[in-house]
Amino acid sequence: MDATVTIHRAPWIIPVTRPVLADGGIAVRQGRIVAMGPFADLRAGFSGRPVVDHEQQVLLPGLVNAHAHLELSHLSHLNQTRPAGFTTWVEALLAARMADGRSDEEILAAAADTLARMHADGVIAVADIGNTPVARGLQETFPGVLLHFTEYLGHGRAGLPAHLDRLAREESRTCCTAHAPYSVHAVLLQELKKRARRLGHIFPIHVAETAAEVEMVSTGRGELPAFLRRRGFWDGSFRPTGIDNTGSVQYLHDLGVLDDKTLCVHAVHVSEDEIGLLAATGAGVCLCPGSNRFLAVGRPPLAGFLRHGLLPALGTDSLASNPELSLWQEMRLLARAHPQVAPADILAMATLGGARALHLDELGSLKEGRRADILAIALPTPPAHDDELYEFLVTAGRSIQPRWIGER
């Protein structure tokens, strides 16, 4: 009955939801984990089965990239120069998309290349946001889980009927989402969330990425209204909360948009009260440290999220705002910016945090019965204790070269 079982042995196994397993084993049958525990126990339980020894390596679950825009991969030249500010970057991005003469095939090829690199870098699941359907077909080519979201943009009241009409015609299997509180009309935002709720879809949305967004949401003033005015979308229909320091999370809560399937991406400018709202509604958080750093928008209140029992996910965002789409690098940036946060928590964000945020119950940790999407990573020197192991994984960045084992 166990003829197809292979035992993977390693000096360290990180299940994520349990402590590090020293001299552990994982029994894999046809792409599934059938048992995990001390190697000696597995050896006895599956006698005669082949053993693959992963010497001086650590085994851990595949990573989850909870926020990316694959369709922007061909615009990587935008990450070569730091923009003067956030809206300057948005304008440069819009201009680059307009001016770029590349065909859909070329855009798709760049997106496919980015996705393949992510998988080679240890990513098993990606939440991909697109304004066009170009990258949607990549789902079939990805060995892991690729969730694609069609993102709506539309701030003005005039465009509302057309957006709602388009939304009503979307196929029910298409996951639709809103770009951000500052770029989507409140009514459209609510209708998008209502639809996602009805269909059981995850609802990722950029939230509180910049201080300018908080200013617009609370006062209706600042560089974002000015930007919308320049583009002809500021028509006075936006209703600010009118209360100082009331941010985007409170705004979304007031619109009835927060629940356990809403994923607040960036969440940089979030108050302590708003962290409490996120925790109370069960909404998810996805941090994008590399993109935040490139656009110089600030640092999220990570310690506050963890104190409230939230485990954020991690995302790379796109090559248009991040020179390197690597979750190892995202962990490294986060660890450097938040030295008070335990490295084990940061690794949990890149695995379990992402799986929870995207409701991918099969992923994010190693457990019996789950998919055997397991990474093996060589360690330059044996760690003296578990903390040193976690420390290495979240600070080594691009020097980590993972290998997939146990795949079907």
For Zn ion, the binding residues (CB under 5 A) are: 317
Rounded Cα distance, 158 and 205, in Å: 22
Please say which residue, 318 or 351, places its beta carbon nearer to Zn ion: 318
What helix, strand, coil percent values describe the chain, rounded to 5? 40, 20, 40
Contacts of 1 (CB under 8 A, 6+ apart): none
Contact 323, 79 (CB under 8 A): yes
Nearer to Zn ion, 42 or 212 (CB): 212
Strand partners, 24: 10, 38
Nearest approach in angstroms of CB 72 to Zn ion is 9
Q: Which is nearer to Zn ion, 274 or 317 (by Cβ)?
A: 317
Output the smallest distance, CB 180 to Zn ion, in A: 9
What is the C-alpha separation between 234 and 231, in angstroms, rounded?
A: 8
Q: Which lies closer to Zn ion via its Cβ, residue 121 or residue 317?
A: 317
Closest separation in Å from C-beta 293 to Zn ion:
14
Instruction: Report the residue number, 12 or 203, with the smaller CB distance to Zn ion.
Output: 203
CB of 202 to Zn ion, least distance (A): 14
**Three-state DSSP state, 394:** helix
Shortest reach from residue 158's CB to Zn ion, in Å: 26
**DSSP structure class, residue 370:** S
Position closest to Zn ion via CB: 317
Cα 255 to Cα 277: distance, rounded to the nearest angstrom: 13
Q: How far apart (Å, rounded) are the C-alpha atoms in residues 147 and 5?
A: 30
Smallest separation (angstroms) from Zn ion to the CB of 385:
37
What is the dihedral sign for C-alpha 396, 402, 406, 408?
Answer: positive
Q: Which is nearer to Zn ion, 21 or 216 (CB)?
A: 216
Q: At what angle do helices 223-230 and 86-99 cross, to 10 degrees?
A: 20
For the CB of residue 317, give the shortest distance to Zn ion in the complex, in Å.
5
Compare residues 89 and 233 and give the one whose CB is closer to Zn ion: 89
CA distances, 297 to each of 13, 164, 289 (Å): 36, 32, 10
Distances (CA, A) of 337 to 14, 23, 150, 326: 24, 33, 32, 17
Please say which residue, 127 or 405, places its beta carbon nearer to Zn ion.
127
Smallest separation, CB 271 to Zn ion (Å): 22
**Residue (57 or 150) nearer to Zn ion, CB:** 150
Give, as one character, the DSSP assignment of residue 371.
B
CB of 198 to Zn ion, least distance (A): 24
Is 350:314 a contact under the CB 8 Å cutoff? yes
Nearest to 178 by CA among 160, 200, 159, 193: 193
CA angle 198/201/205 to nearest 5° reads: 110
